[in-house]
Amino acid sequence: MEISGFISAVIIGIVIGILGRLVVPGRQRIGIIWTILVGVVAALVGTFIAAAFDVADTKGIDWIELAIQVVLAGVGVAALDRSRSTRR
């Protein structure tokens, strides 16, 4: 992976992670690094799922792919928050 691809993945991960945090109600007790990591993973997995259902390449903005990524990020943020809150 080239450096530009890595930077793009991090930027997309930040956006997807923040959107994922916004769809989860309440306060999440995870840091920004975890949010970015969840966002990057959700973006990658969401892209794979969208490609599997053949909705990844459309004209304009891929709204279905974006929705899949945000839902996955929300699930990831909620799961990570829940797992961290049960340890305390």
Q: What is the mean pLDDT of residues 22-42?
A: 88
Here the tokens at position 29 are: 């007790």
Q: Which amino acid, 22?
A: L
Q: What is the 3-state secondary structure (H, E, C) of 22-57?
A: HHCCCCCCCCHHHHHHHHHHHHHHHHHHHHHCCCCC
List the domain boundaries for the chain: 3-87
Q: What is the pLDDT of residues 64-83, one digit of tens each?
A: 888 998 999 999 999 998 88
> Is 88 a residue whose pLDDT tops 70?
no
* Structure-token match 């995870």, residue found: 30
